[in-house]
């Protein structure tokens, strides 16, 4: 991970709370730590925000509406679309607004990353099994090397978070998974731990073995060690 070719992309860490994401507070705290380190190292911090226009234009099909016709989630006329105050973008930092789960779909994210010469992305955010996972796949399709930070990420339920992590681990062949702490260690040239994909589809599972396989990821268990 060459730092001058790296960007940090934060997916939808917004005030919207109707989905009831688990561990939001902890994730925001970790994000704060991560972006301070990134800024110090000159790694650009890029934010994405999911937006549903209050007038209903451009909504995903079957997007739920309130009685007044405005969207239940991420409505553009509410404060829910804002990034959390503690980690708000600084003046001049890039904010990508988007209408679909993936941060790459019909946005300028790829244009900007490519133009900046970015090859590695540090990524995390909400929800693991939705916007984060589809953005990670889209980053991989565009040949970015993906570094996922698991503890700035979250979902509304444990199974969804675990299974999305396992799916990305299985099919994004150049994936590296870090905790905030370990990634910060790496950025500071200290010893660090990382989970890396040893081969395609390496973490096959059943419901019964799912916890154990997921633990391999968050414990950075390297095959063969």
Residues that bind a second copy (CB under 8 A): 19, 44, 55, 57-64, 73, 92, 94, 98-102, 105-112, 114-116, 129-130, 133-134, 137-138, 140-143, 145, 156-160, 162-164, 166-167, 170-171, 173-174, 197, 199-201, 204-211, 213
Of 37 and 129, the one with the shorter C-beta distance to a second copy is 129
Of 167 and 185, the one with the shorter C-beta distance to a second copy is 167
Of 73 and 180, the one with the shorter C-beta distance to a second copy is 73
Of 11 and 184, the one with the shorter C-beta distance to a second copy is 11
Q: In whole angstroms, how close is the CB of 76 to a second copy at the nearest point?
A: 10
Of 53 and 193, the one with the shorter C-beta distance to a second copy is 53
Q: Does residue 140 have a cis peptide bond before it, meaning omega lies within 30 degrees of 0?
A: no
With tokens 């934010």, the residue in question is 47
Cβ 98 vs Cβ 138: under 8 Å: no
Q: In whole angstroms, how close is the CB of 74 to a second copy at the nearest point?
A: 11
Q: In whole angstroms, how close is the CB of 53 to a second copy at the nearest point?
A: 8
Going from the C-alpha of 67 to that of each of 58, 64, 71, 189, the distances in angstroms are 18, 10, 9, 54
Per-residue b or e along 27-60, where b marks 16 or more CB atoms closer than 10 Å to that residue's CB: bbbbbebbbebbeeeebbbbbbbbbbebeeeebe
Q: In whole angstroms, how close is the CB of 190 to a second copy at the nearest point?
A: 25
Distance CA 73, CA 52 (A): 7
Q: In whole angstroms, how close is the CB of 109 to a second copy at the nearest point?
A: 8
Going from the C-alpha of 96 to that of each of 24, 83, 131, 145, 202, the distances in angstroms are 21, 12, 13, 20, 33
């Amino acid at each position: 991970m060459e730092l001058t070719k790296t960007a940090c992309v934060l997916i939808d860490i917004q005030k919207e709370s109707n989905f009831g994401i688990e561990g939001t507070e902890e994730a925001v705290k970790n994000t704060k730590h991560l972006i301070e380190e990134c800024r110090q190292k000159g790694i650009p911090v890029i934010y994405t925000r999911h937006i549903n226009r209050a007038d209903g234009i451009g909504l995903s099909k079957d997007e739920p509406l309130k009685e007044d016709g405005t969207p239940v989630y991420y409505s553009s006329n509410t404060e829910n679309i804002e990034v959390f105050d503690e980690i708000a973008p600084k003046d001049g930092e890039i904010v990508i607004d988007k209408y679909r789960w993936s941060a790459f779909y019909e946005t300028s994210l790829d244009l900007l990353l490519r133009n900046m010469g970015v090859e590695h992305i540090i990524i995390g955010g909400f929800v693991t099994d939705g916007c984060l996972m589809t953005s990670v796949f889209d980053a991989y399709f565009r040949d970015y090397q993906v570094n996922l930070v698991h503890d700035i990420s979250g979902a509304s339920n444990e199974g969804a978070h675990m299974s999305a992590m396992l799916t990305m681990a299985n099919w994004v062949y150049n994936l590296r998974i870090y905790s905030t702490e370990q990634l910060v260690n790496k950025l500071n040239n200290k010893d660090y731990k990382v989970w890396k994909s040893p081969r395609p589809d390496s973490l096959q599972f059943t419901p019964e073995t799912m916890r154990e396989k997921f633990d391999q990821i968050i414990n950075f268990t390297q095959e063969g060690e």
